[in-house]
Structures are given as C-alpha cells and as structure tokens.
Amino acid sequence: MAGLYIHIPFCRQACHYCDFHFSTTLGTRGEMADAIVKELVLRKDYLEQEKIETVYFGGGTPSLLDETELNKIMSAVYKNFDVSKDSEITLEANPDDLTEQKIINLHKSGVNRLSIGIQSFLEEDLVFMNRSHNAAQAIDSVKASQDKGFENISIDLIYGIPGRSESDWKLNLNTAFELNVPHLSCYALTVEKGTALAHMIAKNKTASPDDEQQSEQFHVLMHEARTAGFEHYEISNFAKAGFRSRHNSLYWSGKKYLGIGPSAHSYNLSSRQWNVSSNQQYIRSLKNSELPAEIELLDDKTKFNEFVLTRIRTIEGINLKDVELAHGKQRAEFLMKSVNDYPVKEHLSLHENIIKLSDEGKFFADRIAADLFQD
Ligand SMILES: C[S@@+](CC[C@H](N)C(=O)[O-])C[C@H]1O[C@@H](n2cnc3c(N)ncnc32)[C@H](O)[C@@H]1O
Ligand code: SF4
C-alpha cells in the first residue's frame, strides 16, 4: 500500500503567507504536464510495484490544470502504476477555479475527493492574505461541488490571524459546519521567512500572530469541531466518520510514497529524496530524461525521530510495542523514560503502553516531539 503525490507548481497570485513552491508564470503549464508525465514513466519502479491506494494532486494550485493536462497525467498514472480500484484521488482546488464545468470535468477525470483552499469565509481575512477569491466564491465553490456530486470534500482554514477575535473564528467554523463538509484541515497562521507577510511584519504594517490568541483559537477549534461531530484525528485534521484523508494518513503511518513534480518529496522506508524547486530546471532536466533530485539515506536514529514526530500528532498516538518492533527495545525504553521524566506532565500521557498528547499538549506538538528525539 503506497501513495502518489503530484505537485502542480503554479498559482494565479502569491498569497502573502505562503512559501510552498509555485510560480505565477502560467505559460509553461503544458510543458510542465509533459515533464510530469515523463517523470512518472522514469520512476515507475520506485514503489517496487506496490499498489497505489491514494493519488494526491497538491500545490501550488492543481485546479489550474485544464482537462487535457489533467487527463494526460491521469493516463500516465494508470499506465505506469498499479492503482487500486477503490483508490482515493484528491485534488487541491482554489474556490475561484471551481466553475460548474470544471467540477464536472474533475469528476470525469477520476478525481473523487476535493480539498478546497477556503482559508477564511471572511472578506477582510481573504484580502489580508491576498487570496484570489472572495467570501461569496468560498461558499459557492463548496455548494457547487456538492451539487455536482462530490461528497468527499475537505476545506482548509487558517486561524490566528492578527487582530481577529474568537467570535470571528467561530463564525468561520460555523459556516463550515453549516455547509456540511465532512473534513476540515485547520492551520495556525505561520510567518515563513521571505514571504510578503514576513516583510509586512518587519515594516510594522501588520502585527505578528499572537501565540496566546492562536492557542485560544486552537482550543475553540477542538471544542467546536468535536461538538459538531468531527473526530480530531491529527493535530490539524478533523473528519466525520469514514472521511479521514487516506493519503495523509499514509504519511503519518510511515508508508511509502512517490512525489512527482518540482519540489516533491519521496520516501521508500530507507531514504528520502526531493526534486529541485525550480520549474525551469525541472522541465529542462526532464527533457533530457534526467531527474534533478537530492537524496538522504535515513539512519536508524533519524527513522526513530521521524516516527516520534509523525505518530505523536495522531489520535492513535505512539504505541511503545510498535516502537520496539520497528526500532528496538532500547529505543522503546528510552522513549518511555523521556515521557516519564517529561517536565510538563499535563502535556502528555503514557497509558497502557500508548503515548498521547493531551489537548493542552497538542498546540505544542512539534516542540514536544523534538524534546523526545534521540540526539
Ligand atoms: C500549499 S497550500 C495548497 C492549496 C491551495 N493552493 C490553496 O491555497 O488553496 C496548502 C494549505 O496550506 C496552508 N498554508 C500554507 N501556508 C501557510 C502558512 N504560512 N500558515 C498557515 N497555513 C498555511 C493553507 O491552508 C493552504 O490551503
Ligand atoms: S496558499 Fe495555495 S494559492 Fe496561495 S500561494 Fe500558496 S499554494 Fe498558491
């Protein structure tokens, strides 16, 4: 069981907070689709013929692909990989791309799950973030997708925006609940180096996100989402029964995945590799049937630390028996001791061999994981 990720590195405009790899030069889309097809062929043995359970078009903005480009990539996927009959095929879409015709075409191309980048249903947030859609488009895109038969829909929301109150955030969440989407991914606004947001903060044009406000809004999120019937199955992810993201779950449970396209990462249990983050270089190399990528062989300590980092974020937590099986008795004992000695007792628990974060601890998940790493 493995996953396939395909990165579509184009966006209509740059959101102020975003440092994912994308270009706003859309003219090379056709060449990019050809290069991606070429990479799919070149790397068809990477997963050693394991069945593909999930395909995920991420970005950038995959909904910028036209029907021909998407179908070309899909055909190459089916031709070169053993895709399971009941595979989950997700595509990240921006609201302003989701016209009725587009939604129908996505359905026809085999996409069966949409992840819509709403970010906020509030006009002022969308302007602050420099999104290319407005609040009405945010709502319409979800309704139109449902009308045209998409049941498996996730939406992305961002909280902790400077100056926004708890009630603004509740309004956002309630709109999502009223729209009846079965999956939410919610992220605290993060200031990434080199982004427009970082410059705006440096020039005092806007305030920095506030830790306390973000933590409060995270607690509101956990409470409201649970009350609305969502399972909080990973720090940033909430699902109604049967609607967890199978693709992301595959990452969190340490399965193999192949990443195609510029900046995409791949993992095959023993190494991790990542493609060059440049559209031009990627296209040029693939024209010569070369893959511009770097590779890191994972030693035992790195594998253990990654295990801790990903598992601690999930509702299942870290089972010390799994640690012993995968990483040996010594590491399991090391982890048990680290948890028992952990200074902030109320942030995590060890019960019947399973380590879990408390609701208080969840907001600090990455920091706590790092504290449990082996140096
Ligand atoms: C890389 S984007 C791709 C999806 C799509 N292009 C979109 O924007 O709707 C994936 C998600 O990451 C989140 N994200 C990206 N940068 C972020 C940041 N600096 N802080 C918080 N969330 C962020 C957004 O919610 C976004 O929808
Ligand atoms: S958040 Fe999405 S649409 Fe905005 S720049 Fe990043 S990838 Fe592009």
In sequence order, the β-bridge partners of residue 273 are 266, 295
Which residue in this structure is represented by tokens 């595959």?
A: 250
Per-residue pLDDT tens digits for 189-225: 999 999 999 999 999 999 999 999 999 999 999 999 9
Ligand nearest to the CA of residue 194, numbered in listed order = 1
pLDDT class of 375 with cuts at 50, 70, 90: confident
Whether residue 87 is predicted with pLDDT greater than 90 in this model: the reply is: yes
**How far apart (Å, rounded) are the C-alpha atoms in residues 233 and 226?**
11
Which residue, judged by its Cα, is nearest atom 2 of ligand 2?
60
Ligand whose nearest atom lies closest to the CA of 11: 2
Q: What is the mean pLDDT of the chain?
A: 97
Q: Which amino acid is located at 43 in the chain?
A: R
Give the pLDDT score at 5.
98
pLDDT at 115 over 90: yes
pLDDT at 65: 98
Coil, strand or helix: which one is 239?
strand
Handedness of CA 133, 138, 140, 144 (dihedral sign): positive
Main-chain dihedrals φ then ψ at residue 90, nearest 5 degrees = -100, 145
- Give residue-wise pLDDT tens across range 218-246: 999 999 999 999 999 999 999 999 999 99
Ligand 1 neighbours (beta carbon < 6 A): 17-18, 20, 59-61, 92, 94, 117, 119, 156, 158, 187, 189-190, 192
If you compute the radius of gyration of the chain from its CA atoms, what whole number of angstroms results? 21
The per-residue pLDDT for 296 is: 97
Mean per-residue pLDDT for 165-172? 97
- Ligand 2: which of 10, 12, 20, 263 to mutate, judged by most atoms within 8 Å of the beta carbon? 20
pLDDT at position 267: 97
What domains, with CATH codes, occur in the chain? 2-252 (3.20.20.70), 314-372 (no CATH)
How far is ligand 2, taken at its centre, from the CA of residue 187, in Å? 14
CB atoms < 10 A from the CB of 228, how many? 16
Q: List alpha helices for the chain, DSSP H.
A: 29-42, 67-80, 100-108, 123-129, 135-147, 166-179, 196-202, 211-227, 246-252, 279-287, 300-311, 320-327, 329-340, 359-362, 365-372
Mean pLDDT over residues 353-360, rounded?
97
Which tokens hold the place of 192? Answer: 């990434």
- What's the confidence (pLDDT) of residue 278? 98
Q: How far is the CA of 157 from the centre of ligand 1 (A)?
A: 8
